[in-house]
Amino acid sequence: MTGSMTLVSSVPIEGKILTIRGMRVMIDSDLAELYGVATSNLNKAVKRNLERFPEDFMFQLTGQEFSNLIFQNGTSSSHGGRRKAPMVFTEQGVAMLSSVLHSTRAIMVNVEIVRTFVRLRRLIGSHEELARKIGELEKKMKTQDGEIKLIFATINTMLHPVTNKKRKIGFLDEKPNKQ
């Protein structure tokens, strides 16, 4: 079965995962394409089983989100494209699709999509860890930078001591004599 799992490559899947409302999601039309079904058929199957898809599993984009998506992807809906905002599925929603779509291909696609979500989560986690370590290194460097500057300032003072002119002892006449 491992050889048949190569039906779907994870590379195009990663490109189809978007971040909307702070969640990683996939659009219904992209999922339908991967599953090899019409988008309308995928949505019908979901609507027949709405109790399996709470809002944290699936939601419909708002008009503004849909406009932003069209703008970002450079697609147009004016010539036979979508007229309604798409449904999007979170990782949990994608996993739930396997209970709604019963084909062998749907099961294999779901496995690959879930694996891709997991890979992305690990990748993001490693980037966050790397960013944290870089931040700590920058803080150490700033601290050490200050210490190094202090050392050089001290050495500079030792090499070039500031000499004050000796003042004469006694009283100074503040008003010059005019004669």
Domain boundaries, the chain: 3-128
> What residues pair up with 19 in beta bridges, in sequence order?
24
- Return the minimum-mean-pLDDT range out of 18-22, 41-45, 135-139: 135-139
pLDDT digits (tens, 9 = 90+) for 91-120: 889 888 878 887 778 878 888 888 888 888
Residue 47 pLDDT class (50, 70, 90 cuts)? very high
Phi-psi category of 7—alpha, beta or left, where left has phi over 0 and alpha has psi -120 to 50?
A: alpha
pLDDT of the residue at 104: 79
Average pLDDT (47-66) is 91
What is the pLDDT of the chain when averaged over all its residues? 77
Q: What three-state secondary structure class fits 121?
A: helix
pLDDT at position 10 over 60: no
Q: Is the pLDDT score of 65 beyond 80?
A: yes
More confident residue, 127 or 51: 51
Residues of the chain with pLDDT > 90: what percent? Answer: 18
Answer with the residue of higher pLDDT: 66 or 177: 66
Record the pTM.
0.58
- Secondary structure of 27-56 in the HEC alphabet? EHHHHHHHHCCCHHHHHHHHHCCHHHCCCC
pLDDT tens sequence across 68-96? 877 766 554 444 567 788 999 998 898 88
**In this predicted model, which residue has the larger pLDDT, 44 or 69?**
44
What does each C-alpha distance from 32 to 44, 51, 56, 158, 161 come to in angstroms?
Answer: 12, 20, 20, 76, 79
pLDDT cut 70: percent of the chain above it: 75
